[in-house]
Amino acid sequence: MLASETAVHPNPPPTDPVPSIAQPLLMDVQPSDRRAAGTTPQSPIQEPPIPTPNLSRTRSWIVIVQLSGINFISSLSGGLLTIGLPIMASNLGLSDNLRVWPSAVSSLTGGSCLLVAGSLADVLGPRRVNLLGCLFIAVFVLACGLARSGIELIMFRALQGIATALFVPSAVSMVSTNIEHGRPRNLGFAFIFLAYPLGYGLGLALGGVFVNTVGWRPGFFAGGTTGFLFFLVGIWTLPKDPNISKKRLSTEIDWVGALMAGICIATFSYVLADLSADTANIKKAVNIVLLIFSVVLALAFPAWMRFRERQQKPALMPNSLWKNKSFTSVCLMALISNAVVTCMGLFCSLFFQNIQLLSAIEASVRILPQVAIGTTLCILSGMLINKLPVLAAVLTLTVLCAIAPLLMAVTDPTWPYWYSALWAQLLTPLSIDITLTIGTLIVTDVFPIHTQASAGAVFNTFSQLGASVGLCVLSVISTNVTNKSDTKSPQALLAGYRASFWTLFAWTLTAFLIGTVGLRNLGKIGRKKD
User: What angle, 0 to 180 degrees and rounded to 10, lies between the N-to-C axes of helices 325-350 and 490-518?
Assistant: 160
Which residues contact residue 456 at a Cβ distance below 8 angstroms, ignoring those fewer than 6 apart?
118, 168, 169, 170, 171, 172, 173, 176, 440, 443, 444
Provide the whole-model pTM: 0.78
Q: Cα separation of 83 and 81, whole Å?
A: 6
Q: Residue 404: what are its φ and ψ, rounded to 5°?
A: -60, -55
Domain ranges of the chain: 54-245, 254-313, 323-530
Considering only CA atoms, which of 387, 341, 331, 385 is closest in space to residue 518? Answer: 331
As a whole number of Å, the end-to-end CA separation of the chain is: 23
CA 462 to chain centre: 8
The yes-or-no answer to whether 54-245 and 323-530 have a common fold is yes
User: What angle, 0 to 180 degrees and rounded to 10, lies between the N-to-C axes of helices 57-92 and 360-384?
Assistant: 160
For 338-377, the DSSP string reads HHHHHHHHHHHHHIIIIIS---HHHHHHHHHHHHHHHHHH
CATH code of 54-245, in short, is 1.20.1250.20
DSSP label at 489? S
- Please state the length of the chain: 530
pLDDT in tens, the chain (530 residues): 333 333 333 333 333 333 333 333 344 444 444 443 333 333 333 344 445 456 778 888 899 999 999 999 998 998 888 778 878 888 888 876 677 788 778 878 888 888 888 888 888 888 999 999 999 999 999 999 999 998 899 999 999 999 999 999 999 888 888 887 777 888 888 888 778 778 887 887 788 788 878 888 999 999 999 999 999 999 998 888 777 766 777 777 888 888 898 899 888 888 887 777 677 788 889 989 999 999 999 999 999 999 988 888 888 888 888 888 888 898 999 999 988 988 898 889 889 988 998 887 788 788 888 888 888 887 887 777 777 777 888 899 999 999 999 999 999 999 999 999 999 999 998 888 888 888 888 887 777 777 777 878 888 888 888 887 887 788 888 888 887 776 567 888 899 999 999 999 999 999 999 999 888 877 666 555 55
CA 121, 124, 127, 129 dihedral sign is negative
How big is the chain by its Cα radius of gyration, in Å?
A: 22
Class of domain 323-530: mainly alpha
